[in-house]
Chains A and B, each alone.
Chain A
């Protein structure tokens, strides 16, 4: 036996010391359900952190990356003292513009966190109801660190669905405290508002992880498989001849209910089940029956086209006028959660036949049914009835009719002005008025126009611009057929181990995560082009949600989808689709795994140490090119708190707050070297924590720069810098002038740019500096100071 193993005589318990015992032992089995159980888990300092427990970490982060505010509105209109103008003065409650922006950032993050958390709570309770609280959480043999965020924040390893309730309750309580702080007369300091916003972001990630972990296990979704299949994507993949059920939203339960009903009744080939937004991503993870129409940018155009016979809505990012739009086309609407009731009658407890009867006879416009299984039956049966009754092909006006309507255009230009992107709508409409639909098609391509409908609402001639856009799409269905890889969930521990050596040896320059909504400045292909560029350069690219769908809607010069061209491995040139919005939790998840796998950092209750590790070592950067929702802001804040920077698209400036590093202030970049006990000069890496770029070119270069970290090996640094220099040259025509800041010693200089870099070093009187051994922004432990 090995010296450290246990022998029966070692057992100290009193039980064994009873007198007169004669124990004959057969097979002794040491219960090793997980080796980590055997190690004494010393809880870190902050399990289940309260709102103020991680404040010191937040303050350190905010010192390095002070909040940059761009107020969206000069006024505060929250209480009845107001509205108050805060330009250069305080409001009636004493708040100033800075704190007000902080408050708004917190409120946005609270709303975002609540959205995911409430969704997860509904999902969790529904799944426990379905499979029981003892349903095990098991991701298979390749994933040992399940639920890394919950492990770290709660300090426990959840083994069953029921275990997740503890994390859920903790997080719900925190969300309550945080929202309360937005009330009039609460916090007064903008940094403390930010600290709470970061806490809200962290709660968001806890909520998201609960959601994805529970649905992956209970619904048997892919558990981190790299070779998940491809699913169909696009408006053109739906068979319009069949009854069509459209799900919009984020909660997979109703969609799963519909799929279950179809499969149980062998109607697979008779009904088309499709979805818009994250619910469709999760539906395709559940079954290969489902099809993905696309992200939110498809919503109004697809609704307007009337292809869907039944529209099933659950929650988040759905158009508030979905009932009206559905009814316009003769489709029925079923609402399925308490988040979106739309004034409909609650028919949860009624029979399917009754509900159907009322809808078909037009007594009610739709129904609220809070039972996913009932929704399944109702939606399918309704779709069958409705599709036979409607003339689907005649829902949209003919080209002729549209031309006539468009010819009413007086070129007033207001459509252009109210368009969030000031797109040339006027030109498109007036040329359509002359029979030329070309310009409208250009706006339709790549969801450049994401059919928000503001132009239509503004048009003094009441031209149905959205119908025009929908028709243009319908006329070109063949161009609208794409593929997307099914969401796989978390990254496997084994994959993390595999990329360890290539990362330190410089073969993999970094990890870029393309996430976020579709408020793009210039069409969805920009996201795909950025992804393609980084894939070609050997980066690892992960994606989720609307971003994943946008990437799927791009065909490269050979007509191939990026998902067909690149594998789904978490490896250089791998394009990984994590899944839906809640799968974003796997992004900090993989960074946390790195800390645990390679550095054996204790996770439980140890948030600060883990986030500090990630900030200084893990060269990953998030990219939300079209962020629009509050969820996106919460996700970004959460990711930031874990130490991962994010680049936003230009509309992200409207979140009112960024975290920009004080690049010029060398003092703020100093690092504490935990190994030597010294304070050393650092570098602005990552330079910013939350950045907004104006166009794709600027964003691409920023992403490369934000993957640099203080612990890069020389080789790794060389490769990262050569990509930074390369892309800067490509888009800006010059070598980056700040390159000298990232050269620690001559060994960091990329060999193919040696001459140019040396020149810049000379011009800036560069001196080599120490490479940190164990950089940290945490304080030295008390006994270390002065060593």
Chain B
């Protein structure tokens, strides 16, 4: 099981502070507790079945979606509402305590990530880890993200779909 706790790209270990390894239960708990969550979705979500899962999860929890790269196009084709930002742009906004969030209702307190290219996601999470104490990050990829506050472990597709289903 140790293998699950090594970041997907093994050298993405950043330092002594490790993220919380979460199960869907803990993840649900985190989302419930949050007041202004945000769902940041990257280009891996252009493909099924992740696209479907994202749609269901966002709907269930009423999460506003930010799409990075050109994911916006795929989403708008299937009529899922989202706000497009570059991954570095949204991270830049999230780390600014003055930002009023995607809906103008106030800065977000929980940011859920999925589908962003691994290493740039890792970097973005590092920025938030160091410079955004006002929010928590949760990643629900099938990869373990070292720089998140909370992350799913490394899993194969079957296990992962199972987790997403439970979410």
Q: Residues on A close to B: CB < 8 A?
A: 68-75, 85-88, 97-98, 417-418, 420, 422, 521, 650-651, 653-654, 658, 660, 663-664, 691-695, 697-698, 702, 731-734
The 0/1 profile, CB within 8 Å of A marked 1, for residues 12-48 of chain B is: 0011110000000000000000000000001100000
What are 9 A-B pairs at a CB distance below 8 A?
A74-B14, A75-B15, A521-B117, A653-B119, A692-B87, A697-B70, A698-B86, A733-B77, A734-B73
B9 engages A418 (CB within 8 Å): yes
Of A88, A654, A694, the residue contacting B130 (CB under 8 A) is A88
Starting from the known contacts A87-B16, A660-B88, 12 additional A-B residue pairs (CB-CB under 8 Å) come to A68-B91, A72-B126, A74-B16, A74-B130, A85-B16, A420-B119, A650-B117, A653-B124, A694-B116, A698-B68, A732-B70, A733-B76
A87 engages B17 (CB within 8 Å): yes
Task: Give the Cβ gap from B73 to chain A, nearest Cβ, in Å.
Answer: 4
The verdict on A70 contacting B69 (CB below 8 Å), with A650-B120, A733-B76 known, is: no
Please measure, in the bound complex, the distance between the C-alpha atom of A483 and the C-alpha atom of B130, giving whole angstroms: 47
Residues of A within 8 A of B119 (CB): 420, 650-651, 653-654
Chain A residue at minimal CB-CB distance from B11? A418
Residues of B within 8 A of A694 (CB): 42-43, 68-69, 86-87, 116-117, 120
Chain B residue at minimal CB-CB distance from A66? B92
Residues of A within 8 A of B129 (CB): 74, 87
Please measure, in the bound complex, the distance between the C-alpha atom of A74 and the C-alpha atom of B87, giving whole angstroms: 21
Task: Give the Cβ gap from A571 to chain B, nearest Cβ, in Å.
Answer: 31
Residues of B within 8 A of A702 (CB): 86
Task: Give the Cβ gap from A661 to chain B, nearest Cβ, in Å.
Answer: 9
Chain A residue at minimal CB-CB distance from B125? A70
Residues of B within 8 A of A691 (CB): 86, 88
Residues of B within 8 A of A72 (CB): 14, 123, 126
Chain A residue at minimal CB-CB distance from B85? A698
Residues of B within 8 A of A658 (CB): 88
Please measure, in the bound complex, the distance between the C-alpha atom of A422 and the C-alpha atom of B14, giving whole angstroms: 19
The verdict on A71 contacting B126 (CB below 8 Å), with A658-B88, A734-B76 known, is: yes
Please measure, in the bound complex, the distance between the C-alpha atom of A733 and the C-alpha atom of B91, giving whole angstroms: 23
A422 engages B70 (CB within 8 Å): no
Residues B45-103 near A (CB distance < 8 A): 68-70, 72-73, 76-77, 84, 86-89, 91-93, 99
The verdict on A74 contacting B15 (CB below 8 Å), with A69-B127, A691-B88 known, is: yes
B9 engages A695 (CB within 8 Å): no
Please measure, in the bound complex, the distance between the C-alpha atom of A471 and the C-alpha atom of B115, giving whole angstroms: 34
The verdict on A731 contacting B70 (CB below 8 Å), with A68-B88, A87-B130 known, is: yes
Please measure, in the bound complex, the distance between the C-alpha atom of A68 and the C-alpha atom of B120, giving whole angstroms: 14
Of B11, B70, B77, B118, the residue contacting A698 (CB under 8 A) is B70
The verdict on A69 contacting B130 (CB below 8 Å), with A418-B9, A654-B123 known, is: yes
Task: Give the Cβ gap from B86 to chain A, nearest Cβ, in Å.
Answer: 6
B17 engages A74 (CB within 8 Å): yes
Task: Give the Cβ gap from B76 to chain A, nearest Cβ, in Å.
Answer: 5
What 5 A-B pairs come out closest when comparing CB atoms? A74-B15, A70-B123, A697-B70, A733-B73, A653-B123
B interface, size bucket: 35 or more
Task: Give the Cβ gap from A733 to chain B, nearest Cβ, in Å.
Answer: 4
B72 engages A71 (CB within 8 Å): no
A88 engages B72 (CB within 8 Å): no
The verdict on A422 contacting B9 (CB below 8 Å), with A74-B15, A694-B42 known, is: yes
Please measure, in the bound complex, the distance between the C-alpha atom of A443 and the C-alpha atom of B73, giving whole angstroms: 27
Residues of A within 8 A of B99 (CB): 664
B17 engages A85 (CB within 8 Å): yes
Residues of A within 8 A of B43 (CB): 694-695
Residues of B within 8 A of A651 (CB): 119-120
Task: Give the Cβ gap from B117 to chain A, nearest Cβ, in Å.
Answer: 6
A85 engages B15 (CB within 8 Å): yes
Chain B residue at minimal CB-CB distance from A648? B88
Residues of B within 8 A of A70 (CB): 91, 123-124, 126-127
Of B14, B42, B92, the residue contacting A660 (CB under 8 A) is B92
B130 engages A97 (CB within 8 Å): yes
A422 engages B17 (CB within 8 Å): no
Residues of A within 8 A of B117 (CB): 521, 650, 694-695
Chain A CB within 10 Å, residue with most, of B11, B88, B119: B88
Task: Give the Cβ gap from B69 to chain A, nearest Cβ, in Å.
Answer: 4
Please measure, in the bound complex, the distance between the C-alpha atom of A611 and the C-alpha atom of B151, giving whole angstroms: 45
The 0/1 profile, CB within 8 Å of A marked 1, for residues 109-137 of chain B is: 00000001111100110110111010000
Chain B CB within 10 Å, residue with most, of A68, A98, A651, A653: A653
Please measure, in the bound complex, the distance between the C-alpha atom of A734 and the C-alpha atom of B16, giving whole angstroms: 43
A692 engages B120 (CB within 8 Å): yes
A71 engages B120 (CB within 8 Å): no
Chain A residue at minimal CB-CB distance from B75? A733
Task: Give the Cβ gap from B162 to chain A, nearest Cβ, in Å.
Answer: 19
The verdict on A732 contacting B16 (CB below 8 Å), with A651-B119, A698-B86 known, is: no
B70 engages A692 (CB within 8 Å): no
Task: Give the Cβ gap from B56 to chain A, nearest Cβ, in Å.
Answer: 22
Task: Give the Cβ gap from B101 to chain A, nearest Cβ, in Å.
Answer: 12
Is B152's CB within 8 Å of the partner chain A?
Answer: no
Residues of A within 8 A of B88 (CB): 68, 653, 658, 660, 691-692
Chain A CB within 10 Å, residue with most, of B73, B76, B130: B130
Task: Give the Cβ gap from B126 to chain A, nearest Cβ, in Å.
Answer: 5
The verdict on A417 contacting B130 (CB below 8 Å), with A85-B17, A650-B120, A653-B88 known, is: no
Task: Give the Cβ gap from B115 to chain A, nearest Cβ, in Å.
Answer: 10
A653 engages B120 (CB within 8 Å): yes
B15 engages A87 (CB within 8 Å): yes
Chain B CB within 10 Å, residue with most, of A69, A88, A650, A658: A650
Chain B CB within 10 Å, residue with most, of A86, A651, A654, A733: A733
Please measure, in the bound complex, the distance between the C-alpha atom of A418 and the C-alpha atom of B129, giving whole angstroms: 24
Please measure, in the bound complex, the distance between the C-alpha atom of A85 and the C-alpha atom of B92, giving whole angstroms: 23
Task: Give the Cβ gap from A596 to chain B, nearest Cβ, in Å.
Answer: 35
Chain B residue at minimal CB-CB distance from A68? B92
Please measure, in the bound complex, the distance between the C-alpha atom of A56 and the C-alpha atom of B133, giving whole angstroms: 31
